[in-house]
Amino acid sequence: DGGYKKLPRYHQYFGIKAAQEHVRRREGGIIWHTQGSGKSIVMVMLAKWILENNPNARVAILTDRTELDKQIERVFNDAGEPLVRTSSGSELMEQLSHPAPRLLCSLIHKFGKKDVENFEKFIEELRNGPNQTVGEIFVFVDECHRTQSGKLHKVMKAMLHNAVFIGFTGTPLLKSDKQTSLEVFGKYIHTYKFNEAVQDE
């Protein structure tokens, strides 16, 4: 990581091992690791494993804040895994329609379309004429509880209908968020809760 050699802590190691089993089955899910426990490093290691072990795989990392998008880019670059940061939704879909790059990041709001009066009609159009993406796409969604409950997720699922979605969060899920997040992504892949982090100091 920027010249420093890092090893995963046990929750990162077992989280990645659990995620690998989901990826092999092409199943999504949620990695719930408490704030400050190194989710970015988990993303790097999991993405690296996916790309090294599946020649057809592509990994797209989506965040909902510019500072997170920049942080993800920095962490991957520092780990020697350069990724392409797209500047618009059309650019992201354009990149995914070609075999390279295999590793991308983007802001999730780029999946939203401004001033769409009839949103359901827009979704239906996307579903009926899905964008032709190349490869097996794995989508990592950072802070998945914040953006994935409503329309944005519908757009993403319509545009990337064959993708496997893995959500990452460290924020306690409110009952409504929890239900929606579980419906959207599937069950928990791995958890590392506050009390465990406190015990580990």
- pLDDT tens digits, one per residue of 58-106: 999 988 777 778 888 898 999 999 899 887 667 788 888 899 999 999 8
State the average pLDDT over residues 119-139: 73
Q: How confident is the model at residue 175, as a pLDDT?
A: 64
Mean pLDDT estimate for the chain: 83
Q: Is residue 137 within 8 Å of 163, Cβ to Cβ?
A: yes
Q: CA–CA separation, 163 vs 186, rounded Å?
A: 14
pLDDT > 90 fraction of the chain, expressed in percent and rounded = 45
Neighbouring CB atoms inside 10 A of 70's CB total 13
Q: How confident is the model at residue 1, as a pLDDT?
A: 85
Q: How confident is the model at residue 83, as a pLDDT?
A: 92
Q: Which of 14-23, 104-113, 158-167 has the highest mean pLDDT?
A: 14-23
State the average pLDDT over residues 146-159: 67
Nearest-5° Cα angle at 9, 7 to 13: 90
The structure's pTM equals 0.86
Find where tokens 């020649």 sit.
55
Is the pLDDT assigned to residue 39 strictly greater than 60?
Answer: yes
User: What single DSSP character describes residue 26?
Assistant: T
Q: CA–CA separation, 149 vs 185, rounded Å?
A: 10
Q: How confident is the model at residue 93, as a pLDDT?
A: 80
Judging by beta carbons within 10 Å of its beta carbon (0-12, 13-18, 19+), is residue 201 exposed, middle or buried?
A: exposed
Q: Is 172 helix (H, G, I), strand (E, B) or coil?
A: coil
CA-nearest of 198, 193, 134, 185 to 27 is 185
Is the pLDDT assigned to residue 120 strictly greater than 90?
Answer: no
